[in-house]
Structure 1
Amino acid sequence: MDLAALKALKPSEYQEAADGYRATSEMAGKAREAIDNRVSAGIRNQLSGESATAALRELKELSKDFHYVETECALVSTALNGFAFDMAAAKRKLEAAMEDAKAAGCTVGPDGSVTFPAGGKEVDGKVPEGGTVHVSTSPTDPAAAALERQAVNIHPNPNFGKAVGFADRIGDALKEATDADTKWAPKLRALKADDDLVVSDKDWIDVKSDTDGVRDAGKGYLDSLPQPPKHDNPKDNAEWWKGLTDEQRSDYLSVHPDAVGAMDGLPATVRDEANRTVLDEAHAKAQLEYDAWLKKHPEPERFQPYIDPYTGAMPKGLSVETQEWKDWEEARKTARGPLSGMEAIEKRFDTYTDESKRPYLLGFDDKNNGRVVISIGNPDTADNVATYVPGTGTTLGSIDGDIHRAEVLQDRASLTDPTHKTASILWLGYDAPQDLLTDATDAKYADAAREPLSNFLTGIDTAHHGSVNSTVLGHSYGTLVAGETMRDHPDLPVDRAILVGSPGVGVNHAKDLHIGADHVWAATARNDLVNLAPPPAGPLAPLNPKAYWRLFNDHSVMYGNDPISDEFGGRTFHVAPGKLPTTDGLMPAHSQYWEGDSLNNMAKIVTGGTP
């Protein structure tokens, strides 16, 4: 970058180009939304058959294309804004140096050299002559800096020192511009798509790489924007977002989709947009990792002839699965677990039929066991919002069933109260315990979830467009998470609580949940094995007689009084007895609250009624 190029450069032109790419990104986003929310949903709602299925398949691919264009063009816009920011800073330094040089009587040449006039005390009857200092950069080495100072100090013409300073400043500005050009050129070159119409997993991996590259290169520009609150306070988050311009929102969203998607208090549409990008990137990564696993672990022979253990005979036509294949299949399911969860989430975006059932991805993280927060219906505009907190064993890989619970509750609530809109949220915003006999006996998982759940519920209230009837629905260990959160946050914007299959909620009385005991509803199926949960009795609970105190005292359970007991003081509702243990898995009744009378009664509570 030379002097002429930097003088001629107009950062505003790059900002205008950034505006153009941002506009293109917004158009692609609107096209994607039209395909998903109107065209595809309309087809699913009105048509069926092979032609409809084929059309939906093609529309899904087109939607992916638009999402990719939306994401990449937003990154290009941010990159151009970052480049313009860096170059504008360098140009301001150059212009300031040249103005100061002119004011000091110096002349800046086309190559950046600085010519200074004669000046200073006469030496042998002559005023020290002027001269020219060639463009340079401020020395960073202490020894070089010392030599420069020495040369300035001994030079008889004081204008020499000024010229050296101007030349250094000009050199610094040119170097800064050159560094910016060198930094941004490869980043911008990387922001291009393959020469095809298929958005592959590799393309989304490249999006993640592009995002990281633009974020790192644009640190100076991004740091100049209004920064998000340091503490995750939903109200502060909302004010910060409202205070940004459309351009600033786009730039921050393009390079920090994970941070925006996790911000409680922001609009559901914004969080959904951010988390959909995070999901697509994570899905691509998981798919490639799973493909690599399959390549490394080829499927073994599945069947072998059946051998009668008594006679040693091999009946013709009879075969059994090999143990080697069974072990491989178990390992395969484990390897594919997170990918299956992501596909379960994506399935909701591909199958909903109208706006009232539109899913919003309010949180997503594939690290460890995974985090998923998804709302069926828009919580910002719904009259009723139910937030379901699942319990032991919940992971990203098993999330399909939990999303289904949120769906059936929303569907039943909409039938129960068709005059008001209901949004039903699955909140897996914490690390759920994974083992019934060890993890679930420890309150540490609920302890760590109290602040995240409190912030989420406060954020829902903050982002809402009006008044909202808010219900927290806890299941199993999730009731402890809900109970502790309400216990420790007296001002939580929650109107009602539903506690099903509970081992205790961290309090002995419903009034300690701060919403009024008559607003706390609980139910446990007669055949739910959670009824056998004993009160805590130390690390050797199974061997400690105190662990079985509940056989004689019908209200004390693992985490306080049983919510369905009279001692707890809340209200109860009817649920079916449920299936007997081991008739359909170990604890079938523990998972039957989202059907029959139980579901009907929960829908009545969620919509403000009485079962």
Structure 2
Amino acid sequence: MDLATLKALKPSEYQEAAAGYRTTSKMASTAKDAIDNRISAQIRNQLEGETANAALRELKELSKDFHYTQTECALISTALDGFAFDMAAAKRKLEAAIEDAKAAGCTVDADGSVSFPAGGKEVDGKVPEGGTVSASPSPTDPTAAALERQAVHMHPNPNFGKAVGFADRIGDALKEATDADAKWAPKLRALKADDDLVVSDKDWSDVKADTDAVRDAGKSYLDSLPQPPKHDSPKDNAAWWNGLTDEQRSDYLAVHPDSVGAMDGLPATVRDQANHTVLDEAHAKAQLGYDAWLKNHPEPKRYEPYFNPMTGTEVKGTMVESQEWKDWEKARQEARGPLGGMEAIQRRFDTYTDESKRPYLLGFDDKNNGRAIVSIGNPDTADNVVTYVPGTGTTLSGIDGDIRRAELLQDRASFTDPTHTTASIMWLGYDAPQGLLSDATDAKYADAAREPLSNFLTGIGTAHHGSVNSTLLGHSYGTLVAGETMRDHPHLPVNNAILVGSPGVGANHAKDLHIGADHVWAATAKNDLVNLAPPPAGTLAPLNPMAYWRLFNDHSIMYGNDPTSDEFGGRTFHVADGKLPGTDGFMPAHSQYWEGDSLNNMAKIVTGGTP
């Protein structure tokens, strides 16, 4: 980067180019939304047959293209803004140095050197002559800097020292511009698609790398933007987001989709957009890893002849699965990891039929057991919002069933009260315990979930466009999460609580949940084995007489009073007895609250009624 180039460079032209790419990104986003939310939804709603299915497959691929275009163009826009910011800073330094040199009577030459006039006290009857100096070739070298200071101190012409300072400032500006150019050139070159029309997992994997590269290179620019609140306050988050310009929102969203997607208090549409990018990137990484595993672990022969264990002879016509295949299949499922859960989430976006059932991805994280927050219906505009907290054993990999529960309740609530809209949220925003007889006996998982759930519920209230009837629904260990959260946050925007299959909620009385005991509803099926949950003493010392206190005091369970008991002081509603233990799994009744009378009664509570 030379003097003439930097002087002629106009950062505003790159900002204009950034605006153009930002506009293209928005156009792609609009096109994607039109395909997903209008065209495809209407086809699914009105048409059937192979032709319709073929059209939906093609539209799905086109939607992927637009989403990829949206994401990459937003990154290009941010990169150009970052480049313009860096070059503008270098140019300001250059212009300031040139102006200061001119004011001091010096001249900046075309190569960046500085000519200074004669000046100073006469020496042997002559005024010390002027001259020309250039920037130090090693500005960061301590030895070179010391020699330069010594030369300035010894030179008889004071203009010499001034010129040296101007030359060094010019050199610094040119070096800064050169470094910025070298930093951004490869980043911008990398922001291009393959020469095909297929958005592959490799493409989305590259998006993640591109995002990291632009974020790192643009740190100075991004740090200059208004920064998000340090504390995760939904109201502060909302105020920060609302205070950004459209350009700043776009740039921050482009390089921090994971942060934006996790911010309570932001609009559901914004969080959904951010988390969809995170989901696509995570899915691509997981799929590529799984494909590599399959390549390195070919499937062995599945079936082999069966030999009678008593006689050791082969039973003709009978085949069984080989142990080798069983071991391979177990390893394959482990290698596939959370892919099934990611596909279950995406399937909701690929299959919904009308706006009232449109899904929103309000949170996503594939680390450890994974987290996901999915809303069926827009929680920012719905009249009723119910947030369901699942319990023991919930993971991203098996999230399909929990999202289905949110769908069932939203559908039944819409049928129960068709004059008002309902959004039904599945909130796996915490690390759920995995062992029924181990992890679930420890309250630490609920303790860690209290603040995240409180912030989420406050964020829903903050982002909502008007008044809303809010219900918090906990199931199994999720009732402890819900109970502790309400117990410790007395001003939550929650109107009703539903507690089903509860081992206790961390409180002894419904009034401790701060919404009025008559708004706390609980039910446990007769055949639900959670009824046998022991009091804490029973888990600590089986020989302790307190372990058998429950035989005489039937309202004390693991985490406080049974919320269905009179002692708890809330309200109960009818549910079916459920299937007997062992008839369809270990404890089938524990999972039957989203059917029959139980579902109907929960829908009435969610819509502001009484079961």
Partner amino acid, structure 2, of 1:37? N
Matched, 1:314 2:314: yes
Q: Quick one: distance in 1 between partners of 2:557 and 2:327?
A: 38
Q: Quick one: distance in 2 between partners of 1:397 and 1:525?
A: 27
User: Residues 229-276 of structure 1, C-alpha deviation per residue, up to 9 Å, x if partnerless?
Assistant: 000000000000000000000000000000000000000000000000
User: Residues 361-382 of structure 1, C-alpha deviation per residue, up to 9 Å, x if partnerless?
Assistant: 0000000000100000000000
SS at match of 1:316: strand
Q: Structure 2 matches for 1:25-40, cutoff 5 A?
A: 25-40=25-40
User: Residues 317-369 of structure 1, C-alpha deviation per residue, up to 9 Å, x if partnerless?
Assistant: 21111122222212222222300000000000000000000000000000000
Unaligned runs of 5+ in 1: none
Q: Quick one: distance in 1 between partners of 2:137 and 2:223?
A: 26
Partner of 2:158: 158
Partner of 1:583: 583
SS at match of 1:67: helix
User: Do the aligned partners of 2:538 and 2:546 also contact (CA within 8 Å) in 1?
Assistant: no
What's the offset of the Cα at 1:138? 7.2
SS at match of 1:80: helix
Partner of 1:81: 81
User: Do the aligned partners of 1:525 and 1:577 also contact (CA within 8 Å) in 2?
Assistant: yes
Q: Structure 2 matches for 1:490-505, cutoff 5 A?
A: 490-505=490-505
What's the offset of the Cα at 1:298? 2.0
Partner of 1:94: 94
Partner of 2:559: 559
User: Do the aligned partners of 1:137 and 1:169 also contact (CA within 8 Å) in 2?
Assistant: no
Partner of 2:330: 330
User: Residues 39-60 of structure 1, C-alpha deviation per residue, up to 9 Å, x if partnerless?
Assistant: 0000000011101111101100
User: Do the aligned partners of 2:272 and 2:362 also contact (CA within 8 Å) in 1?
Assistant: yes
Q: Structure 2 matches for 1:106-121, cutoff 5 A?
A: 106-121=106-121
User: Do the aligned partners of 2:481 and 2:505 also contact (CA within 8 Å) in 1?
Assistant: yes
Partner amino acid, structure 1, of 2:7? K
User: Do the aligned partners of 1:477 and 1:503 also contact (CA within 8 Å) in 2?
Assistant: yes
Partner of 1:6: 6
Partner of 2:465: 465
Matched, 1:424 2:415: no
User: Do the aligned partners of 1:534 and 1:549 also contact (CA within 8 Å) in 2?
Assistant: no
Partner amino acid, structure 2, of 1:58? E
What's the offset of the Cα at 1:155? 0.1
Q: Structure 2 matches for 1:452-601, cutoff 5 A?
A: 452-537=452-537, 540-542=540-542, 544-601=544-601
Partner amino acid, structure 1, of 2:204? W
Q: Quick one: distance in 1 between partners of 2:391 and 2:137?
A: 63
Partner amino acid, structure 2, of 1:521? W
Change in CA separation of 1:137 and 1:260 when aligned onto 2, cut-off 3 Å: farther
Moved more, 302-311 or 523-532: 302-311
Partner amino acid, structure 1, of 2:361? L
User: Do the aligned partners of 1:380 and 1:463 also contact (CA within 8 Å) in 2?
Assistant: yes
Partner of 2:209: 209
Partner amino acid, structure 2, of 1:424? S
Matched, 1:305 2:315: no
Partner amino acid, structure 2, of 1:229? P
User: Residues 189-230 of structure 1, C-alpha deviation per residue, up to 9 Å, x if partnerless?
Assistant: 000000000000000000000000000000000000000000
User: Do the aligned partners of 1:507 and 1:561 also contact (CA within 8 Å) in 2?
Assistant: yes
Change in CA separation of 1:413 and 1:115 when aligned onto 2, cut-off 3 Å: same
Change in CA separation of 1:471 and 1:541 when aligned onto 2, cut-off 3 Å: farther
Matched, 1:394 2:385: no
SS at match of 1:350: helix
Q: Quick one: distance in 2 between partners of 1:208 and 1:344?
A: 22
Moved more, 551-560 or 508-517: 551-560
Q: Structure 2 matches for 1:40-59, cutoff 5 A?
A: 40-59=40-59
User: Do the aligned partners of 2:386 and 2:473 also contact (CA within 8 Å) in 1?
Assistant: yes
User: Do the aligned partners of 1:470 and 1:494 also contact (CA within 8 Å) in 2?
Assistant: yes
Partner amino acid, structure 2, of 1:478? G
Matched, 1:126 2:126: yes
SS at match of 1:373: strand
Q: Quick one: distance in 2 between partners of 1:367 and 1:403?
A: 19
What's the offset of the Cα at 1:549? 2.4
Q: Quick one: distance in 2 between partners of 1:586 and 1:343?
A: 27
User: Do the aligned partners of 1:137 and 1:167 also contact (CA within 8 Å) in 2?
Assistant: no
What's the offset of the Cα at 1:121? 0.1
Partner of 1:605: 605
Partner of 1:168: 168
User: Do the aligned partners of 1:205 and 1:284 also contact (CA within 8 Å) in 2?
Assistant: yes
Q: Quick one: distance in 2 between partners of 1:48 and 1:200?
A: 28
SS at match of 2:427: strand
Moved more, 142-151 or 94-103: 142-151
Identity %: 86
TM-score w.r.t. the length of structure 1 is 0.99
Q: Quick one: distance in 1 between partners of 2:563 and 2:167?
A: 79
